Amino acid sequence: MNEVTIHFLRDDNIKAPILIEGLPGVGQVGKLTAEYIMEKLGAEKIAEIHSLHFPPQVIVDENGVTHLVNNEIYRYENGDTTLLFLVGDFQSTSPAGHYVLTEAYLDIAEELGVERIYTLGGYGVGHLVDENRIFAAVNMEHLRPEVEEAGGSFQTAEMGGMIVGASGLLLGLGAERNIEGICLMGETSGYIVDPRSAESLLAVLTRLLGIEIDPALLRQRAEDMEQIIAKIREAEESKAAEELTYIG
């Protein structure tokens, strides 16, 4: 059995210079952002990636049909702009598997003509955040000015950090293949799924891509979420107050 299997759903020769990775991670910030763009642009699935490095399980969809756990490649194409997306619900179950999977992603990227990869993630700070900064890292120094211009901050990088999993390795192993890599991480508490941070990330990424995506629905999700959180807090506080009364 191969460690990684790639199924292409269509056979064409469209070259795509840009790949955007949004696999699961802190606050699901990268995943939310990538999937939001895909949805707004109407990207279509072009490949499925199976691997024994994913968890040994199938997902049952709303029709009761099973699907192997996988990662997927989507493509959006419209005249000048061709974008690829790498998304999915899982990363590797083992440390070494992350390397094997990332090399497979890069094989696909090379085959499809990718020259630059954006990897999207969250940067957990452990407390609620009012304004979500977007921290950035690059795999070649010449990429830094354009990222800063688009609103990416290199403050974290100056502290000397780590980027774990596919978001990091796509930059590290991508550099070995001369593929440019830019990692954008939305500041987030790390406690909840964070569409507010995804909205900030979307702004920086779309500036870099030179495209426009209406963030209204993402903002709506953030507001919905904040209302739910506010209600939970209220309920907790009134309960705490009641208990105080009771004790008193």
Residues that bind a copy of itself (CB under 8 A): 1, 52-53, 55-69, 92-100, 102-103, 136-141, 144, 154, 156-158, 160-165, 168-169, 171-173, 175-176, 181, 183
Classify burial at 25, counting beta carbons within 10 Å of its beta carbon; exposed 0-12, middle 13-18, buried 19 or more. buried
DSSP conformation letters of 211-237: -----HHHHHHHHHHHHHHHHHHHHHH
Torsion of Cα atoms, 21 then 30 then 215 then 232, to 10°: 160
Q: Which is nearer to a copy of itself, 180 or 199 (CB)?
A: 180
Amino acid at 67: H
3-state secondary structure (DSSP) of residue 37: helix
**Cβ 154 to a copy of itself shortest distance, Å:** 4
Comparing C-alpha atoms, which of 181, 192, 86 is closest to residue 132? 192
**Cβ 219 to a copy of itself shortest distance, Å:** 26
**Cβ 118 to a copy of itself shortest distance, Å:** 13
Q: Which is nearer to a copy of itself, 111 or 237 (CB)?
A: 111
Residue 63: CB atoms within 10 Å? 5
Pairing between β-strand 116-124 and β-strand 180-188 as defined by DSSP bridges = parallel
The token pair at 15 is: 């070259």
**Cβ 222 to a copy of itself shortest distance, Å:** 23
Q: Which is nearer to a copy of itself, 61 or 214 (CB)?
A: 61
**What span, in angstroms and rounded, lies between the C-alpha atoms of 58 and 50?**
11
Q: Which is nearer to a copy of itself, 20 or 106 (CB)?
A: 106
Q: Which is nearer to a copy of itself, 174 or 215 (CB)?
A: 174
Q: Which is nearer to a copy of itself, 178 or 238 (CB)?
A: 178
**Cβ 181 to a copy of itself shortest distance, Å:** 7
**Cβ 51 to a copy of itself shortest distance, Å:** 8
Task: Work out the end-to-end distance of the chain between its first and last CA atoms, rounded to an integer number of angstroms.
Answer: 67
**What span, in angstroms and rounded, lies between the C-alpha atoms of 201 and 120?**
8
Q: Which is nearer to a copy of itself, 183 or 213 (CB)?
A: 183
**Cβ 241 to a copy of itself shortest distance, Å:** 30
**What span, in angstroms and rounded, lies between the C-alpha atoms of 133 and 130?**
9
